[in-house]
Homo-oligomer: A and B are copies of this chain.
Amino acid sequence: MLTFAIIGAGRIGSVHAATVAAHPDAELRLVCDPDESAATRLGASYGAQATRHAEDVYASEAEAVIIASPTHLHVDQITASVGSGKAVLCEKPIDLDVARVDRCIAALAGHEHRVMVGFNRRFDPTFAEIHTRVGAGEIGELEQLMIISRDPAPPPPAYLAASGGIFRDMTIHDFDMARFFLGDVVQVQAVGQVTDPAFARADDFDGAVTSLLGATGAVATIINSRHCATGYDQRLEAFGPSGTLEAVNRIATAVRSSTRATSTASGPYLHHFLERYADAYRLELSHFIDAISTGQAPSPTIHDGREALLLAEYAACSARATSEPTPIPR
């Protein structure tokens, strides 16, 4: 049995609280949020205490801390939690600044293995199955990876301002997925696009295509959009000399219809990340509990978090450099 505190009683904190409560080997002890009533409400649902002070978390008997607070607080909370002997599962991204992450790693002083970063998609059963089958050699040596990752609708302008931009906020999941398959990346190219003026005002992009060259010679292509009429579009395709493995979108029910206009049509995708990755959140927590309980380092590590952030910086830089292209002579 592993005892937990959660910092952050918002949407994603609530998901983690429910996941911990439902896990047979986990127990939720404490919920912390500056909005004390939110902390109290969430804690009460699962018989846990509540506090508005992060210090109470560090001083508590909880063995593990899930950090689901705003991004700029992550680094201090990681350092303090690990410093007080706790294992940490921290939501992505660790921070928006690689230098701050580096200082955090230094401050952990050899205890980085106690920190897991919440790249939950690695635990999605569909992606994980493909990863396993690629690893087993089913398609031969991986040559090309394609990731399509589109949100159903853009976040509100206020969110954008603090998001760090599309590459650090959204593509970061895809960078981690690319690294999950390719390992080290040696080159990044990106093209950004703006279709919605709100993104121009935030000096951000709402669409991007990023190419990554891996050290093995494999190439990953990531196609992003902040909107998608068809819903939460989450696909992946791994190509090798012996075949292809493809993750298609998941549909809510197994209904197909046919009409005068169409021979077959399936219903909409699972709506958004809470529905699409419900299993992934559950399996991510299981992995964390298993690893911590047996004294092993959970993965993805804080270094994986740093690498994804670094790729985001390179991609942002590349996209910005090419956003005022030299016209092709005609």
Assess whether B213 is in contact with A191, with CB atoms less than 8 Å apart.
yes
State whether the Cβ of A294 lies closer than 8 Å to any Cβ in chain B. Answer: no
Interface segment, A9-17, A47-55, A219-227, A285-293? A219-227
Q: Which of B209, B248, B258, B328 contacts A254 (CB 8 A)?
A: B248
Q: Residue A71 at the B interface, CB < 8 A?
A: no
- Of A28-36, A59-67, A239-247, the one contacting chain B is A239-247
* Cβ contact within 8 Å between B242 and A229: yes
**Contact residues of A: prevailing secondary structure:** mixed
Q: How far is the CB of A198 from chain B (nearest CB, A)?
A: 14
Q: What are the residues of chain B within 8 A of A277 when measuring CB–CB?
A: none
A246-B255, A261-B268 in contact; A223/B191 too (CB < 8 A)?
no
Interface size on A, residues (CB 8 A): 78
State the CA gap A325–B318 with chains docked (Å): 14
Contact residues, A257-284 vs B (CB, 8 A):
257-269
Q: For the complex, what is the distance from the CA of A223 to the CA of B144, rounded to whole Å?
A: 8
- Other-chain residue from B138, B256, B263 in contact with A251 (beta carbon distance below 8 A): B263
A229/B254 in contact, CB under 8 A: no
Tell me the bound Cα distance from A188 to B325 in angstroms: 9
Instruction: Report if A207 contacts B (CB, 8 A).
Output: yes
- Judged by a CB distance under 8 angstroms, whether A230 is at the interface is yes
Q: Is the CB of B255 within 8 A of A245?
A: yes
Which one of A87-95, A124-132, A160-168 is at the interface?
Answer: A124-132
Query: Which A residues have a C-beta under 8 Å from some C-beta of B?
Result: 125-126, 129-130, 133, 138-139, 141, 143-144, 146, 148, 150, 185-189, 191, 193-195, 207, 209, 211, 213, 217-219, 221, 223, 225, 227-231, 239-269, 307, 310-311, 314, 322, 325-328, 330
